[in-house]
Amino acid sequence: MNLIEYKKPTILDVSPVDSIFFETRSGNAASGGSGISHSLASAHLVIGALQNAIGKWIDPPATPDNVLSALGKG
């Protein structure tokens, strides 16, 4: 009848759930997954590779103009 004696539900109050995982091969990940993180990671991998190659950080997008301006030639 009051909030002091109210018992919060815990994991023991939830009934068991049977989960079935299967691969659909609809995405580009190893298990068929797909998401926004894949596109973000690949863009920053290119930026990191450019930084290793030229020694300067380039803000995305890595267009030829941005690369040349980072090198002081544009």
Domain boundaries, the chain: 38-74
On the question of pLDDT at 63 being above 70, the answer is yes
Distance CA 29, CA 41 (A): 12
The pTM score is 0.44
Where residue 68 falls among pLDDT bands split at 50, 70, 90? very high
pLDDT of residue 31: 59
Instruction: Count Cβ atoms within 10 A of the Cβ of residue 72 and give its class: 0-12 exposed, 13-18 middle, 19 or more buried.
Output: exposed
